[in-house]
Amino acid sequence: MASILRGKDILRADQLSADEVALIMDTAARFERVVQNGGRLTNMAGKVLATLFYEPSTRTRLSFETAMLRLGGQVLSVAEARTSSSAAKGETLFDTGKMIESYADVAVIRHPVIGSAAELAAGASIPVINGGDGAGQHPTQALLDLYTILKEKGRVEGLTVTLAGDLKNGRTVHSLSALLAGQGVRFYFVAPPALAMPAEITAGLRQRGIEIEETDDLAEAVAHSDILYMTRVQRERFADPAEYERLKGAYVVDSALLKRARAGLTIMHPLPRVDEIATEVDAYEGAAYFRQAANGVPVRMALIALVTGQE
């Protein structure tokens, strides 16, 4: 039977049903076991992944590319898409989508404009995966975050999760809050007022019955949390550099903060970090952010294989 995700675009976290999320988690775990045991996978043999990155990326692009290679497929990549592709000549993403479908079997796009992945997907008949659209969504990050919580904690249901930092501009927390809302968590949203979670996201979650406490007191939140999901102040989304300078140091996770945290706190971060997690925290056993980055590989392997029907 064909996968329920076959042929689908992955554009937003809230498009995914509980069954689809469970299938992605199970498939990622299966692929991770095979790779860990030194096995070779050939699911994507003869297939091509195109990566179109119009914004900087290290982890997302490299983990998608290695995911495809580990599935036996091949990768076409436009790294500096903004300056080196026909976007610089004014081509629309819709037209790029029309063209890309004859070059590749699946595509990943990262772009500074909200809705850009959807525009590419509207033009392309092949599955399109959103690798981050401006301050919009980053669904594959949310999926690897969920996978990480499952591995670190063994469950999600009943956990208290603090999302902290730039909740206004951070696409990772927009996607992650939507994904976790379906998994029985309660939230603290910790941000300075100028970087608060967009009101429509908070209202939408509350309408679904999700318990959310909004505060600017990080220490208070971590005293009651199982997970701290820290984020970077998104400098590239600020029109006014002085406003960024004012807000960039809003929160720093350090040893002093950890002393006030609930025992067993797991600390996550989508990376890159700037200075919001002190390096002294890296030695703490609950510091999961580098393990989290590694989990991007099996989760993206699962996504590539599922949307192309090669799982």
Hey, which residues are catalytic here?
59-60, 89, 110, 138
- Residue 267 CB, shortest distance to ligand NCD, in Å, is 15
Tell me which DSSP letter residue 163 carries: E
- Residue 157 CB, shortest distance to ligand NCD, in Å, is 25
Question: 162 with 187: CB under 8 angstroms?
Answer: yes
Q: Is the Cβ of residue 59 or residue 82 nearer to ligand NCD in the bound state?
A: 59
Q: Residue 57: how many CB atoms within 10 A of its CB?
A: 18
Q: Is the Cβ of residue 46 or residue 272 nearer to ligand NCD in the bound state?
A: 272
51 is an interface residue for ligand NCD by CB under 6 A: no
Tell me which DSSP letter residue 212 carries: E
Q: Is the Cβ of residue 8 or residue 232 nearer to ligand NCD in the bound state?
A: 232
Please state, in angstroms and as integers, the Cα–Cα distance from residue 103 to each residue in 6, 22, 83, 110, 121, following that order.
19, 31, 20, 18, 15
**What is the footprint of ligand NCD within residues 4-43 (CB under 6 A)?**
none
Q: Is the Cβ of residue 3 or residue 148 nearer to ligand NCD in the bound state?
A: 148
**What is the footprint of ligand NCD within residues 212-241 (CB under 6 A)?**
231-232
- Residue 46 CB, shortest distance to ligand NCD, in Å, is 29
Q: Which residues contact 111 (CB under 8 A, 6 or more apart)?
A: 52, 54, 55, 93, 117, 120, 132, 133, 134
Take residue 53 and report the two structure tokens written for it. 């990155």
Take residue 189 and report the two structure tokens written for it. 């949203």
Question: 270 with 145: CB under 8 angstroms?
Answer: yes
Question: 122 with 94: CB under 8 angstroms?
Answer: yes
Q: Is the Cβ of residue 98 or residue 235 nearer to ligand NCD in the bound state?
A: 235
138 is an interface residue for ligand NCD by CB under 6 A: yes
**What is the footprint of ligand NCD within residues 252-271 (CB under 6 A)?**
270-271
What SS3 state is found at 13? helix
- Residue 2 CB, shortest distance to ligand NCD, in Å, is 29
Nearest residue to 275 (alpha-carbon basis) of 221, 226, 230: 230
- DSSP H stretches of helix in 5-138: 18-36, 59-70, 81-84, 93-100, 116-123
- Residue 92 CB, shortest distance to ligand NCD, in Å, is 23
298 is an interface residue for ligand NCD by CB under 6 A: no
Question: 182 with 215: CB under 8 angstroms?
Answer: no
What SS3 state is found at 215? strand
Take residue 200 and report the two structure tokens written for it. 């429509």
- Residue 257 CB, shortest distance to ligand NCD, in Å, is 20
- Residue 166 CB, shortest distance to ligand NCD, in Å, is 8
Q: Is the Cβ of residue 132 or residue 139 nearer to ligand NCD in the bound state?
A: 132
Q: Is the Cβ of residue 47 or residue 138 nearer to ligand NCD in the bound state?
A: 138
Question: 96 with 111: CB under 8 angstroms?
Answer: no
171 is an interface residue for ligand NCD by CB under 6 A: yes
141 is an interface residue for ligand NCD by CB under 6 A: yes
**What is the footprint of ligand NCD within residues 59-88 (CB under 6 A)?**
59-60
Residues binding ligand NCD: number (CB under 6 A): 11
- Chain contacts with ligand NCD (rule: CB under 6 A): 59-60, 132, 138, 141, 171-172, 231-232, 270-271
